[in-house]
Structure 1
Amino acid sequence: MDTTSIKNLFKLKSVPIEVPKQETSKTEDTPKIEAESFEESRKRTYHESGYRDSSRTNGNHSTLSICLDAVYSKFQNEEKEMVEKQQKLKESYVNEQKNRETEIKALTVSQETKEEQLKNKNKEIENHQNNIETLKAEILDLPRNPEKHNVKATKGASTKFWIGAILLVPISLYLLTFYISTSYSAFFKSFDAKSTVIQSVLDAQALSKAWNEGLIEGAFVSLIPFVFLGLGFLIHMFSENKTTGNYIKLGLLFIVTFVFDSILAYEIESKLYELNKVFDSPPFDLKIAFTKIQFWGIIFAGFIVYIIWGLVFDFVMKEHKEKDRIKNEQEIRQKNVLFLLEKINVLKKEIEEILGNIGTTKELIIKTWGRIEELQNIIDGVIIPTKDYKLYASEYVQGWITFIGEKIAVSKTEKQTMIESCIETYNINLETVGANSDNQNLVYLSSL
């Protein structure tokens, strides 16, 4: 078997190595030729070494395995001495390492920012919790010390309110009774000689008698007390805003009420006068009415009580307002408490999210540092381009097989068996050093 046929046989057992095409200018032709010359010289050296080592061992494939290990060590040392080539091979790893270091800085800044955010949010939660405790204390203390919390309300307003409200009930009943009786007596009742002054003014059956006499009479007598109660309510309304206009309105209310009470007293006193007058008695008029004690008694029995009712009602409403003011302040603070609790819940969710981001960032930093260490190991070591080793190892084996084909005198069948054993040993070696056909572009790292 000649040298050409051996090379053809070996090529059938090898996988072609793809070399990227590069465009070069005419000025680069000379360096390219020199590079190609070095490569050819190196290939020839490996080929001759294979031929020579095969001659020493008579082409033994078991010995070939040991020799290929030595070839790999030799190739490794040669690659280590090629500083410029190593730098070029490591350039991508150096760039990646720089990028990873930049990424570490960015991740560290991000982590510090998130930790600062976490600190601020925890402090914000603490402030909210302190505010909540303060608000709760104010809610409990407001009824006792409203002025302490800048609330213009009288302490103990609730007790005064209930006392006034209780007093309003009997006074209101009195006014209802008085005005029902006096209005019935003044406008509808017929007096007789046996009627006393008290019986003429106050009639226990005034309401039922008025309704018996007719719908109009009954409605008038039943509803007229509420006119006075309404006037009393207006006293409170006008006294709330202390203006000149309201004081004038308040004075007019008192005058109207006094006049109306005077009319009731005049009508009743007129009926009593007509019942008791003699032949020479003058006609009843205001001059005579002003001289009658019962006239003034009827006026003041209604008017004075009406004023008292209005003042008590005004006092009760003011106390109720004081009580409402405290209650409103408590409700405002309670709403603030709920608002702050909602903010705390939102902040806690944000803190959980930040903690998750910090954990993720720390994992990325650890992972990136691990990759930087891997890259540093690659940079500190020797990069073995497996496709180059495969090229020169194949030259070595070709030299080995060439010797078998040219110099060993055995049968053709036995020679073919020896060659196939050598090729098998070669493929095993490629698998061992990671230079098999499936991973031609893989680089093998040996840390030295």
Structure 2
Amino acid sequence: MNIDDATFLEHFESMSSIGATPNGGVERQAGSPADGQTRQWFRGLMEALGFQVRQDSIGNQFALLEFDPSLPWVGVGSHLDSQPRGGRFDGAYGVLAGAHAAARLRKQTDSKFNIAVINWFNEEGGRFPPSMMGSSVFTKKLRVEDALRVTDATGVSVGDALASMSATGDFALELAAYVEVHIEQGRRLEAAGIQIGIVDSTWGAEKFTCQVRGDQGHTAATMLEDRHDALFGGALVVAAAREVAEQFSDEQATVNSACGEFHVSPNSPVVVPSQVDLRVDFRSADRERLTRAVAEFRKRVDEAAARAKVEIDLTPEHSWPAQEYDAAGIELAKSAADSLGLSHTVLKTLSGHDSTNVKDVAPTIFLFVPSVEGISHNERELTSDEDMLAGVAMVTEVLRRILNGEYV
């Protein structure tokens, strides 16, 4: 099988046809039939390239190129699942780029490492929270038993969804290093005309589940002063999240906030809602600023509960601090980009990725390629062929240097 640039683009189009949506995106939520089809496509590709494919207890896929059983493993990859009506580049590009980089190096002589191309299960968390589930289990931040019990909105568990795809096994390995390339999901690289972003740190994140409990009533007959309107309380929470983020953002640092996944009960046009469930998250590169913003938000939630005459429970769900990536890996990536004649800059990742978990257990190099207009988690998500191919070349060179023993 050819592993040149033209073949990469052909493979990308083939992969993107699975779960394709009418407006150019994909719908491949974790554990869905489309996710299962993509996993089978990935298996077929990697086996055709001479790799062995294995699965672990949470459904992470490992395509293995073993030069010598005694050698440690370097991982490269990302994820194949998507958001609802998501883009075809987010995650999937990184898996395929890693696969082609590894395939281009499969005849490497005197390699110091074996290679595992990894498809992490359920990075997106759109169907089964939390996000980054597969890499969280891999890094022992989440117990596999707890992850398997998580259910979606219809009551289907992660364990059942994985079983429906025959997607679990007993494989395990330890990583000595990890490389991931991802679309930026922002407009910094595109705006600056730069080809490669080298990530030096994460933003911190604090995620919450929020339950607002009121009392069901008639929308016409129940007077405003008598209402315990859960949706009104939820709306005040949403407004507070946005206003607090704006309050704590300035020219020195930014706080981002978001609210999503609303469930309104009973969701009737003539009933004052009795309960609203939603998710809220705050993110910032400034740890102290993030802490102050969350404290102010909690205060505003209490005020919302009093104003709407409802009860509001705000429960921490998932968090990670702003943390740095390995300094030696950043320098190696800079040198690799220079050798390829690729323009590059150092920047932070606003979003969470599997690399943000893996960096805590293995030296990790995380790379970005440009996103057109910064659009992501949207069918209009786009990265040019030229930028995708530059990213493949970059991952190949970084991985080659690791195999030669230049990193760890």
Structure number having the greater helix percentage: 1
Structure (1 or 2) with the greater strand fraction = 2
TM-score by length of 1: 0.16
TM-score scaled by length of structure 2: 0.17
* Structure having the higher Rg: 1
Which gives a bigger RCO, structure 1 or 2 (Cα 8 Å, sep 6+)?
A: 1
